[in-house]
Structure 1
Amino acid sequence: MGGKYSRGEERRPLGFPGFSALCCCQKKNREETPLGFCDIKAPRSNPSFGRDDPAYLDMTYFPDNDLHMAACAGDLPFVRLYFTLGKYEVNHRDKENRNAMHFACFYGHLELVIYLWRRGCEINVCDNHNITPLMKAVQSWEDKIVCFLLEHHANLHIKDSMGNTALHYAVYSGNSATAARLLQYGADIEERTKVRITLLRN
């Protein structure tokens, strides 16, 4: 038998605020301005990843186990309980190679991110597409989490499988404040993706 967040193959996590809205945001906005910045005005609405736009960059991010379901919900007591009972290790990975930090960052649970970090959860872990928790926090406009990760040595030079860095995620999603923050921490604005696109186009 599973725990509080067990689910069948076809079920999806619906029990926490904002999840329904997230599920409605799967359409991509492919319109580009001359510099590749998209016209996004608010967090988590129709991300555009320039010419890359791979399917794995969809905003929906579904867990497949109780620990990651609790991380999505920001349910710190249950995350603690799973660790106390020894049901999961702090760096437990799912089939996509994601750990709890990926989910906590994506869904904006700063308190849980801090707890996981204190427990030794990896912040530079890469999933099957080489996406890090920092990239997911940037993609979701979770600026406080981005600041925490940067202050605790998140690697902003890691590239995903298409060659995008965290700075690419900030620019493609229209988050200029986070892009500026990443640049302050040493992000390279001339870094090229696998299709040879830089953030500064000639």
Structure 2
Amino acid sequence: MIKFWGYIKKKAQLSSSPFDPSERSNSIKGTGSSSNVLTTQNAPGYCIRYKDLGKLHKAAFLGDLAKVQHHLLFKKQDLNKRDKEHRTPLHLACANGYPDVVSLLVEKKCKLNICDSENRSPLIKAVQCQQIECATILLENKAEPNLGDIHKNTALHYAACGHNISLVNKLIEHKANIEAQNKDGHTPLLLAITENNPEMVAILLKRGADVNASDKLQRTALMLAVGGEPIGIVNLLLQYDVDLSCQDIYGLTAEEYATCSGYSIHHELISQYKIQKNLKKSIFPGMSHSERISAIKFS
């Protein structure tokens, strides 16, 4: 059983996350001589070389508002033109965090939902790079929040892996799908759990995320949470109507995950939750979990 649990944990670690290691460290890897590579410290994920960019793209990448205005006004350049990686000037301005350039491009009616070679829209790129002002401008101008990249990660998936609660709220307020699943079946809530981010888990649950959502291996939020040492996320999940009867594709429940994980505290918490849930059902038969909680609070 211990060997099997190790396999389960390995599968969890291999499941896709919106960020790869190079993007987590905000590094840009280029090829060729350094003089041929345009880099900025706040542009994770984009490798840019001079020969790949036209003048408008370069100006947008560097945040040179005057040059962007000049090229649009006098050179009549196509503001939706793509480079070799299908990036538009809007992608580059969003990735590097130039809200003034983003505002200008939007004002000039650029297309908001063009995707780059990794199928990332400017909004996804802004969120991935934690460029909050740029993301806000796009959302307020009705950029589509539910587009998925090549891994089917939406902007909300990227936001759930970060620490900006206001950005998550803003995306949800603009109709981002809180139950969107990436290629591994992970919802934003499941990703927040794999990232060990209790604050993000709390806000997603508060905004209505399904606590019993499961990934492609049918692992629920609680199954993923009990594999880690901190008890904060497990405690958060057990404040909601967790279905302890759910099984993964191997027939294991969250309680069995807790037993196999080696963290006895998690098994104790689940056992206590089960007792309390059964007790509430006997006291308030026919009521939903939220109705039983309300009844207890006001009794």
- TM-score scaled to structure 1, two decimals? 0.70
Q: Deviations over 1:95-146 (max 9, x none)?
A: 1111000011111111111111111211111112110110111112221221
Counterpart for residue 59 of structure 1: 45
Counterpart for residue 162 of structure 1: 151
2:62 partner amino acid: A
Question: Equivalents in 2 of 1:144, 1:79: separation in Å?
Answer: 19
Tell me the CA shift for residue 87 of structure 1. 6.4
> Of 65, 73, 76, which aligns to 2:65?
76
Q: Report the 3-state secondary structure (helix = DSSP H, G, I; strand = E; otherwise coil) of the residue aligned with 1:104.
A: helix
Residue 140 of structure 1 pairs with residue 165 of structure 2:
no
Query: Does 1 or 2 have the higher relative contact order (CA < 8 Å, sep 6+)?
Result: 1
> Of 104, 117, 132, which aligns to 1:128?
117
Q: Which has the higher helix share?
A: 2
- Any conservation in 1 of the 2:159–2:168 contact (CA below 8 Å)? yes
2:37 partner amino acid: R
Unaligned runs of 5+ in 1: 1-7, 24-57
Tell me the CA shift for residue 167 of structure 1. 0.2
Residue 200 of structure 1 pairs with residue 157 of structure 2:
no
Sequence identity (%): 34
Structure index of larger Rg = 2
Unaligned runs of 5+ in 2: 1-30, 191-219, 221-299
> Of 82, 86, 96, which aligns to 1:93?
82
Question: Equivalents in 1 of 2:135, 2:156: separation in Å?
Answer: 11
- Any conservation in 2 of the 1:137–1:146 contact (CA below 8 Å)? yes
Cα RMSD after superposing both structures:
2.1
Q: Report the 3-state secondary structure (helix = DSSP H, G, I; strand = E; otherwise coil) of the residue aligned with 1:182.
A: helix
Counterpart for residue 170 of structure 2: 181
- TM-score scaled to structure 2, two decimals? 0.48
How many aligned positions are there?
156
The runs of at least 4 consecutive aligned structure 1 residues that moved more than 3 Å come to none
- Any conservation in 2 of the 1:22–1:59 contact (CA below 8 Å)? no
